[in-house]
Amino acid sequence: MTPVELSRTVLSAVRRAVDVGELSVSVPERVVVTPPRPGGCGDYATNIALQLARPAGQPAPLVAQVLRGHLLGLDGIDDVAVTGPGFLNISLRDADAEAALVRLVDDVRRSGGRYGYVPRPTGVPRSTGAVVELRCAGEVRAVVVADVVARLLRSQGESARVSCTSPLPADWQRILGLGAHVDAPSDALPGVGVRPVPVPADALPGVGVRPVPGPADPLPGVDIRPVPAPADPLPLGRDAARWALLHPAGHDRPRIGDEHLVQRESNPLFRVRYAHARTRALGRNAADLGFDAEAGPVDVAPSELVTLLANHPRVLARAADHRAPDVLARHLVSVADAVLPFLATVLPCGEEKPSAAHRARLALAEAAGTVLAGGLSLLGIDAPEHL
């Protein structure tokens, strides 16, 4: 059972409790499940009982016990414990966890770099039908962040475009891969009188919109205002400059220095790209040994890595909803740190012959590499196969 499937299962338990009259609440649209926090237990935990306690007029532990009764005995669930002020801690059956891992790896490999994307018909936004306008000043970090937020929103089925209050320097387009702008009207105020032309449905993610004079009232949208870069990031080159601007949270002051260029573990960008390159190298080495990847039960699969890969779609959704590319950047660092120790177990050692276990390990490693490459692509950063 994947986290998404478990979330639906918990939500159905809430509906059943409401239907039989044990809870009198409005059924929420979704339930969030996460790895247990310190003091918790099991495979996943949810705070849904705490969320429902006040509208239900009951203590959270009592709400949790009601939901526990509707979860116990369901397929794939081994046990449910109530901890702390009312957290539900859910343990999955081992056999079901193995099947969920196979489905997860298959899903990642089938989706490729679009794993975690929300599909939508061409030209039809995911929700209200409105185009999200991202407004930013002509400051390098603001424009780069707006660029990536637009990519994230599009990955989640939204229509998004970027408008800037001033034209971009040619170096920003050449080095950072940003789109060209024309001068805004001389009497335009920030966020006013600048209306970007629609972006074609097949346009590549980016800031390739062109502001032209528009009506006095601004379009509904979002102002992108991160803490400005303290120095010019362009000498770092495209990849390191983008990472330096995107990895810190928007309210944090970014560091613009050579630490983003060093090829050492102290550099998070290096770790992410190195982990990706290692996963691709394993595929080439496995081919030389005469076997390829095949999803299956992984005897030594690190639970943290599996959880991170399963949570990737929610990470993309959260990064888009909060207009926060740093959420994705930090997630990629976590995936890299979780997969690197696992990679040493993938290939046969010595005279050992390739087995189903090796094929399954390789499939999991390649799935991690796919997530890293897809995430870097959304950030506008290359994921080289050789490093």
- Residue range 65-114, pLDDT digits in tens: 999 999 987 877 888 999 888 999 998 776 566 788 888 999 999 999 99
Q: Give me the DSSP letters along 119-150.
A: ---TT--SSSSPEEEEEE-S-HHHHHHHHHHH
- Bridge partners of residue 90, in order along the sequence: 44, 80
CATH of the domain at 41: 3.30.1360.70
Q: What is the dihedral of CA 277, 118, 310, 112, to 10 degrees?
A: -30
292 close to 361: Cβ distance less than 8 angstroms: no
Residue 292: CATH number of its domain: 1.10.730.10
Q: Which spans in the chain are helix H?
A: 3-19, 48-56, 60-71, 94-111, 140-155, 170-176, 238-246, 268-289, 303-321, 325-343, 356-378
Q: Which residues of the chain have pLDDT under 70?
A: 94-97, 120-129, 179-220
86 and 139: one domain?
Answer: no
Domain assignment of residue 278, given as a range: 262-378
pLDDT at 303: 80
In a domain, 196, yes or no: yes
In the prediction, which pLDDT does 121 show? 52
What was the pLDDT predicted at 130? Answer: 76
Domain contains 21: yes
Structural contact between residues 210 and 197, judged by C-beta atoms closer than 8 angstroms: yes
Do 283 and 368 fall into the same domain? yes
Report CA torsion sign: 194, 195, 197, 199.
Answer: positive
Q: What pLDDT score was predicted for residue 96?
A: 66
* pLDDT computed for residue 147 by the predictor: 95
pLDDT value at residue 302: 81
Q: What is the pLDDT of residue 181?
A: 40
Sign of CA dihedral 339, 319, 111, 113: negative
CA 351 and chain centroid, separation: 40
Q: Can you give the pLDDT at residue 203?
A: 37
pLDDT of 53 reads: 92
Whether residue 77 is contained in a domain is answered as: yes
Q: How far apart are the first and last CA of the chain?
A: 36
- The confidence score (pLDDT) of residue 6 equals 87
Note whether residue 144 is domain-resident. yes
What's the structural domain count of the chain? Answer: 3
3 state SS for 221-236: EEEECCCCCCCCCHHH
Residue 326's pLDDT is 96
269 with 374, same domain: the answer is yes
* Same domain as 278, residue 215: no
At residue 265, the pLDDT reads 92
